[in-house]
Structure 1
């Protein structure tokens, strides 16, 4: 267990240092989610993608790639799921590398990349199947040092994910939950206790370091959740993991999950979020609906740290760099 997972609330803990860094970091708001998640994916992703319980919003991935990279750059997602990061990168003329533990989702990600190419996406992409904690050994050594942006989201908060069918639809009593599991592999971090998740995420970032170019950006989406009534401050834990891996926090972005209508936020909560908030309020706890995700922007230290984010990419993986194949062996 790392120091991140130990004594999280002690005065000298890495989590407290991460919270202090977050308080001082520049902050921006991304007006993503102005279309519903279903509308963002319609026609752009294969129908089999729907079953994944924790998909990144395409608009968030697209905005991050557009801001932190330029055409010809390379984007990495070490926990790529259905391949949202890869699809949006290839549509924007970037190359992409994905690592996915579960065979099912690796296949879906490959299918989505091929679908993107059929729709005219110009970027090349590779999906490797394996544990992201071994990313430096899994990914082709020729690609080491070529990644300009690592964009990912760790699995978390099972209560936030999944779909439901009502009694009227199933003929059964109550609510039936489905599409709420990431997979069955024992190494899947979705099954891990919180301490192990944080420890493993630090290992993932360390394993990805050899792949990152000098000055590369690491962007991680995260949101807090409650476990047995206690708040798990995942955004601060992500920053602490990044700092333990030698990265520097440079920006905190508020990526909206709600629409902006007439100057007000229109929440798009899941069934479970609504149920949990209503139950908490009935118990006297003033809980509110989640209307955004934090996107924590960290960077590999370099002499150019003072440059604006969009100018940080060094072009190591442009047309003159090593090409990434569209299909990779497992």
Structure 2
């Protein structure tokens, strides 16, 4: 009996601890900040013969990249709005950050991806899921601000297939016929893939502070540069927008974006010009690889774990009246969770 309770107590302490996540696959890495739980994305690079991970979004303060949701005309910034509680977990092939309120749940899911014909993970699939907890339909719009800093040092903030050096703010839609939007850096670069689904409905290239300060929509009709003196100098970002969608009562909607990483800006842009979009057979291989990667790690049933932990905590506090039958039931549920981890269900 004592041995069983010691085991349960260790499991309770271990699973209750909130720690930052740090996952690596192929050429890329996903981590979360231990204070804010914001995601941080990296590309493996070689600098003077030494390997290191270069952040593709600004990482000194991960709060500069964030999600905003418009729910029936009300605006909420994830990680800042008091209406939403934040949690995180590791999932199959990536991480999940959950923002939960009494009316809905916004989940940012970031997974490793093998893009543009690569045989190893070289990018990310970033999915935003909105679940409606209410008994009525919900109108929502989404905005994701990504603080793309890689090109700021050189002054070449953003590059397009049609324009290798964007110097003014721009508004792009799929009708713009731009296959990618690149933040080219000295050692690493990243491209938001914009040629096909999944992709945002629109992308704004703008000064970070102006984009951050805007409640939701952004007026890019004035072609301004990437400086807002004296507050934000030489500071650019991408704003990803998804137009109005209806989330059915008790229903869910999902949107996604794809991010391909590469090496130094000039080399990466030259490679993209020659190789992107990939040929049909490369895309087929990519889909097969990503499907296989999604089987690599089990997804955990967080609600079941929380319920079981509550029962374990209650059992520890009431050990004097705990029956053998109750103990066996708790141990049986622990065994069921272990079996679920050992035999994960494939992710669709």
TM-score (norm 1): 0.28
Structure with the larger helix share:
1
TM-score (norm 2): 0.27
Higher relative contact order (CA 8 A, sep 6+): 1
> Which entry has the higher C-alpha Rg, 1 or 2?
2
Structure with the larger strand share:
2
